[in-house]
Amino acid sequence: MNFRRPWPSYIPLIALFAGAAVLLPVLSSKFMLIKVQEESMSPTLADGQWVVVIRGASKIHPGDIAVFVNPMDNGLAVKRCILTGENQPLVEHGWLVTPWGRWFLTGPQWNRLDSADQLENDAFYMVGDNQFRSLDSRTYGYVPRENIIGRVWIPSGRRNHG
């Protein structure tokens, strides 16, 4: 018996590419993929790990991990938001204490954090989970909302601070 296909074998492949051409611009406006290129978020995120970023600063809350433009060198950075300008920092014996962990502060870092003009409502205090291997808001201060690119999507089993 000789069976003939009702359509050429390349038609499904063309349909797949056409669908991808339609969906790609929509998805790239809402999501992006980036590669973590530092150890500052270890053990939550590993150096070299790829992460999905949900674009938009309005989705960032304390406890979230976000991607933003670093105010010091204009490169991309991945850090955890632990304070907004609306939150009052809690410092005990030189340690900034939050529900997501404790971060050591030097004298100048505490002065920068305590400075009233740093406490902007539209800014975020971003730190690395691996605090002794992280260049973060303890050094460069609050990150303005316009520098935020989006929130890192973490699978539900890996949300807690290490």
Q: Which residues contact 153 (CB under 8 A, 6 or more apart)?
A: 51, 52, 53, 54
Per-residue DSSP letter, 142: P
Q: Does residue 116 contact residue 15 with C-beta atoms inside 8 Å?
A: no
- In angstroms, the CA 69 to CA 59 distance is 16
Residue ranges covered by each domain of the chain? 31-156
**Residue at token pair 């890996």:** 158
pLDDT at 151: 95
Q: Which residues pair with 68 in a beta bridge?
A: 77, 148
CATH number of 31-156: 2.10.109.10
Q: Does residue 82 contact residue 63 with C-beta atoms inside 8 Å?
A: yes
Tokens of 113: 């954090």
Strands (E), the chain: 31-35, 50-55, 65-69, 76-84, 90-92, 95-98, 101-104, 123-127, 143-144, 148-153
Question: Sign of torsion, CA 148 150 151 154?
Answer: negative
pLDDT at 107: 86
Question: What tens-digit pLDDT sequence spans the chain (162 residues)?
Answer: 566 666 566 666 676 666 656 655 555 578 899 999 999 999 999 999 999 999 987 778 999 999 999 999 999 999 999 988 777 888 898 899 999 889 999 888 888 777 745 456 788 999 999 999 999 999 988 899 999 999 999 765 554 444
Q: Which of 82, 92, 90, 76 is nearest to 131 (CA)?
A: 82
pLDDT at 5: 60
What pTM did the predictor assign? 0.76
**For the chain, what's the residue count?**
162
What does the angle CA 61 – CA 85 – CA 105 come to, to the nearest 5 degrees?
A: 95
- In angstroms, the CA 111 to CA 115 distance is 6
